[in-house]
Structures are given as structure tokens and as C-alpha cells.
A and B are shown apart, each in its own frame.
Chain A
């Protein structure tokens, strides 16, 4: 099956800093999603982005499908951004999302 690798595994930021999270995948995909799992365990949809670039407030994402990676940018980070960020992909031959192991982000005041 498809492999998904996320980096870095852990990240500590000062409030106000910017960060870039990376997701590499081993095969072509027809679905890629970024999620934020907050400290209460809730999974929140950030982006549905199998290709191209999208922006939503302080967050943006870019997927370069031909090179098999996606990037999540967080600007002016806030303490509420803390949690685990997951990338999940689906290739054309498989029916469900495969998750990476996540990047754990801690934003300190």
C-alpha cells in the first residue's frame, strides 16, 4: 500500500513564529487531506488538496502531486494551534485514506 511520511515528528514554536510541515507519499494520489487533532482529540479538517495551493486564514497548503509531497504552512502561530497535524492520502487503487504518523506541534506563549 501507499506509504506516508510526515516531518518533523515534533515541533516547538514560540507564539508568533511561522512553520512548515511536510508530507511525502510513495504513489500518485487522488485525495490528500490535512487534519488538526486538537488536545481534546477532535479531528478538524484543514484542507482537501490533492493538488495545487489553498489558503485559509493563517494556514495554507500546497500539494505537488508530480513530486509526491504536500506542505502545510502555519503563519503567526497561536497557542490554539497546538496539537497533532495529520496528512492522509488515498491513491486511485485503494478505497480509503492512509494516515501519516503526524507532526506534534506545541506553541508556547
Chain B
């Protein structure tokens, strides 16, 4: 059973471009979570999704950020018009149930130049 797969591992974008981060959960997991980690800091929750539904987006900035988890395919975290402050590691996690053990992907390291 493959783990949580994130791609790309590293992403460089110029200011103003769009960044698309992908996350394929573990097989049988329908709950997906996105977290952001700034350098030397812990992980901060961004958004929680189940198939086709956003359950909780309280940690996600209201502008420029969006997330989806379609019926088919991976979950996508999209950042429009990136700024330098968006540079961070973005982690995706999945779990089989809302209270179940969460497993994390290897992260996508976004650098905005």
C-alpha cells in the first residue's frame, strides 16, 4: 500500500505565477488535510477535505488560495499570484476516518523568487 504521494517535491515560481500542488491519499483514505510549514516552525492547518467536499477551510487565506478533492484524481492545492511569503513546505495528510491516524506525504517545497 503506497503512502501519501505529493508532487512535485520542489516547485519554484516567480512572483505573480500560479502554483499547483497535488496530493494522492493512501488507498482507502477519503479524508485529506493540507498543512503549511514555514522555516523553523511547526505545521499549521490550512484545509480539510473529503471527496468533493470542503469540510473545514478555516486555516486557509481567503484570497489566492483554493483547494479541491474531486471524485476522481488527486487533491489539489492552488495558490494564485504567488508572493514571497508563500514560500514554505506544504504537507498533505490522509486518514481513513475523521478521527483516524493521519499519514503525511513528503511535502512540496515551494520557493517564490
A99 and B42 contacting across the interface, CB-CB below 8 Å: yes
B98 and A95 contacting across the interface, CB-CB below 8 Å: yes
B103 CB contact (under 8 Å) in A45, A98, A101: A45
The count of chain B contact residues (Cβ–Cβ below 8 Å) is 24
Count contacts between A and B, CB distance < 8 Å.
Answer: 47
Secondary structure at the B interface, as helix, strand, loop or mixed, is: strand
B106: Cβ under 8 A from any A Cβ: yes
B45: Cβ under 8 A from any A Cβ: yes
Question: Which residues of chain B are within 8 angstroms of A31 by Cβ–Cβ distance?
Answer: 99-101
Question: Which residues of chain B are within 8 angstroms of A86 by Cβ–Cβ distance?
Answer: 42-43
Contact mask B6-44 → A, CB, 8 Å, 1/0? 000000000000000000000000000101000001111
A90 and B99 contacting across the interface, CB-CB below 8 Å: yes
Q: Tell me which of A19-27, A35-43, A61-69 binds B.
A: A35-43
B56: Cβ under 8 A from any A Cβ: yes
B106 and A100 contacting across the interface, CB-CB below 8 Å: no
B42 and A30 contacting across the interface, CB-CB below 8 Å: no
A96 and B56 contacting across the interface, CB-CB below 8 Å: yes
Contact mask A22-62 → B, CB, 8 Å, 1/0? 00000000110101000001110100100000000000000
